[in-house]
Amino acid sequence: MSDLSVNVCGVNFKNPIIPASGVFGYGREYEELFPLSALGGIATKGTTITRRNGNPSPRIAETPSGMLNSVGLQNPGIDKFIDTELPNLLKKNTVILANIAGSTIDECVKIAEKLSSTDVHMIELNISCPNVKQGGAAFGTCPETAGEITRKVKNVLPDKPLVVKLSPNVTNITDIAKSVEAGGADAVSLINTVLGMRIDINTGRPILKNNVGGMSGPAVFPLAVRMVWQTANAVKIPVIGMGGVSSGKDAIEMMMAGASAIQVGAAIFTDPFAPIKIIQEMNDFLDTKKIKSISDIIGSVKPW
């Protein structure tokens, strides 16, 4: 049994595996299958200031080795989240990352203010959602606004670790990462989904009612590993890696690239037990290689 625990900007995770925001809801449905305490942490569904219904259906499409989604941040709003979901989650003996999103900087600040007085362990600020018309990805694709929004949100969260979630839909991810680091982010997480599209050739219509959506799943894995590696080399704050991780080997690979913890999204649709299996497989890998602590592999890739 190796030591799987990791520390990400002062927060202890019993293992590095975190179901990603949006695929896991608030954990209730998965609790039927396994105890949530087995997880390193949980990133909750993106929450906005007021309730959102999201985009019209269909909101999901299959792609080669992956999928597209265009949910569009359907959620009950921050007050309902704080009143009904968060207290329950905080009892589960796992790290809770509250994922938040807004269509204006003000909105993001207001949501963060509401969370600052709760016991949530970390805030994950999504500046990269491709599925909302205003804000969302627009913040995440310009280094200046990304830095500004980070600074303003961090301002109201002096005591809580702030993770800023980055978009892969940019020319240079390291510029954005450096900018949010300068703005006071305690960590960054990446990648959010990659903008994609599928068309039904029999009807000539896009499969998603939103026409375009965010791609995730194994197909984006190499892209995510590259971006995690570049970002980890560009900033001093920890990187939480995600994008296409579906096995323990994938998680190890992404940690070697520089990730301090790993989020798992689409793989949970394929196999709801994926996070549990990934934890087990990581443990087996470390045991076989006689590596004592998972922390030893973070950023251990030896580039040519």
Ligand X SMILES: Cc1cc2nc3c(=O)[nH]c(=O)nc-3n(C[C@H](O)[C@H](O)[C@H](O)COP(=O)(O)O)c2cc1C
* Binding site residues, ligand X, CB under 6 A: 20-23, 45-46, 69, 71, 73, 99, 126, 129, 165, 192-193, 216-217, 220, 242-245, 264-267
Rounded to the nearest angstrom, the gap between the alpha carbon of residue 80 and the centroid of all alpha carbons in its chain is 21
Neighbours of 247 (CB within 10 A): 18
Q: The tokens of 39 are what?
A: 């997880």
Residue 45 interacts with another protein (CB under 8 A): yes or no = yes
Q: Does 205 bind another protein (CB under 8 A)?
A: no
Binding residue for another protein, selected from 23, 109, 146, 194, defined by CB under 8 A: 23
Q: How far is the CB of 219 from another protein (least distance, A)?
A: 8
299: left (phi over 0), alpha (psi -120 to 50) or beta: left
User: Catalytic site residue 9?
Assistant: no
Residue 63 binds which entry of ligand X, another protein, none, CB below 5-8 Å type-dependent: another protein
The entry of ligand X, another protein, none that residue 161 binds, CB within 5 to 8 Å by partner kind: none
Residue 46's binding partner, choosing from ligand X, another protein, none, with beta-carbon cut-off 5 to 8 A by kind? ligand X
State the distance between the two ends of the chain, measured CA to CA, in whole angstroms. 32
67 is a site residue for another protein (CB under 8 A)? yes
Nearest to 273 by CA among 248, 256, 255: 248
Q: Is 71 in the site for another protein (CB under 8 A)?
A: yes
Residues 6+ apart with CB under 8 A from 293: 2, 3, 5, 286
Region binding another protein by CB under 8 A among candidate stretches 63-71, 156-164, 186-194, 231-239? 63-71
Residue 10, token pair as written in the block: 């002062």
Q: Which stretch binds another protein (CB under 8 A): 132-140, 166-174, 270-278, 289-297?
A: 270-278
**Contact between 60 and another protein per CB under 8 A:** yes
Q: Which residue in 84, 122, 75 sits closest to 102, CA to CA? A: 75
Specify burial of residue 18 (Cβ count, 10 A radius: 0-12, 13-18, 19+). buried
Q: Binding to another protein by residue 28, rule CB under 8 A?
A: yes
Can the peptide bond before residue 161 be classed as cis, meaning omega within 30 degrees of 0? no
The residues that are catalytic are: 129
